[in-house]
Amino acid sequence: MGSPATAPQGSTIGVKVFNGRRQPFPPTTEILFTLTNGEQKQIFRDFRPSPLVFLAPFYGNFGDNFTVLAWAKGYEQAGFTPVKAAPNLPQQVNLMLLGKDETFNFNGASWADIQAKRPRIARILGAGATKTAAQGRYGELIEDHPAILACMLNIMTAMEQIHLPSGLPLDYFQQLIWDDSMKQDRFFGYASPELLDQVRIATQQGAFAPEAGTAIFHPGATSSYKQVQFGEANVQLTFHEEDRQTINGVECIKVEPDIDYYKDLGAHALLEVIPNSISKGLTDPRQVYVLRWMAGQRAGVPEFDPLYSIA
């Protein structure tokens, strides 16, 4: 396939790189930037400080779906696609690079922080336990299961940014299931059946889409719906309607929230930020943190801030 003909107009794509603390990289850091067009033809590849502005060619067709990648020594690569460029419509992409040895930092996500800054999340994390027990349980997650806690904070923070026809998804949760089913890629809890009704209405309105193969990928599930707002890191809510419990006088159904990396495999192949072991391991909350933050920046929504950072 030949390259698309370049029209005389140009498009600008601004790129700014941030670290795992959600702070801009210092201008002294040399970053390897790569820009490819929709045909995967390399337009630019060189070391530059951040921020950087590309003057990209304009094709007037699929060639304008650019991919932006960034990498620095000692850091993992990150990128975003597609960046739809057009004349007189400047594009801005904010990317996040994590240090290869960096890990979860919960200094800003203590139990007191959660209670003060995220009362909805604190209510759910503390449900079914005394105040002392809830605080102790949370402390054990920080010490012994940081990846599980990061997963929970990722998903719950993302759910706080989902506006259903009535309320937020977290408003319908009554209690989490604290057992071995709690992993670094998902958790289970009981919520009012009204949550399912709200998600179905939101699906009719185009905010969610039903997921096929529910029973295969989520044993025991009866239905599943994925948020479609972003190209990456959308929340998926899977319902196990036959598993019911009465909690706090409310008859509840079992719900399984998780976050997938990408909508499609094409983005995965282009960006190459996910470890090669993706098919063998569980979703990495570090990558979810990166992708959800970048997706939110690109969409212009309030910053994704799960209170913890990666440093």
- pLDDT means per 10 residues, the chain with 311 residues, are 47 96 97 96 97 94 95 96 92 97 97 98 97 98 98 98 98 97 96 98 97 86 96 95 96 96 62 45 90 96 97 96
Domain annotation covers residue 61? yes
Q: Do 57 and 82 lie in a common domain?
A: yes
What is 242-259 written as a DSSP string? Answer: EEEEEETTEEEEEEEEEE
Q: Are 211 and 224 in contact (CB under 8 A)?
A: yes
Last-in-domain residue among 96, 126, 148: 96
In the prediction, which pLDDT does 3 show? 39
Asked, as a colleague might, if the bond just before 27 is cis with ω within 30 of 0, I would say no
Q: Which runs of E-coded beta strand occur in the chain? A: 7-18, 31-36, 42-48, 52-58, 65-71, 78-84, 91-96, 104-105, 173-176, 189-191, 208-210, 223-227, 235-247, 250-259, 309-310
In the prediction, which pLDDT does 231 show? 87
Q: Do 216 and 297 lie in a common domain?
A: yes
SS3 95: strand
Closest C-alpha to 218, from 239, 199, 234: 239
Q: Are 209 and 226 in contact (CB under 8 A)?
A: yes
Q: Do 87 and 219 lie in a common domain?
A: no
Q: Do 212 and 275 lie in a common domain?
A: yes
Q: Do 54 and 108 lie in a common domain?
A: no
In the prediction, which pLDDT does 281 show? 66
Domain annotation covers residue 2? no
Q: Do 137 and 229 lie in a common domain?
A: yes
Which range marks the domain in which residue 21 is found?
7-96
Domain annotation covers residue 114? yes
Q: Do 143 and 170 lie in a common domain?
A: yes
Cβ neighbourhood burial of 311 (10 Å; 0-12, 13-18, 19+): middle
In the prediction, which pLDDT does 213 show? 80
Q: How many domains does the chain have?
A: 2
Domain annotation covers residue 257? yes
Domain annotation covers residue 1? no
Closest C-alpha to 260, from 295, 221, 225, 288: 288
In the prediction, which pLDDT does 262 show? 75
Q: Do 139 and 228 lie in a common domain?
A: yes
Q: Do 140 and 17 lie in a common domain?
A: no
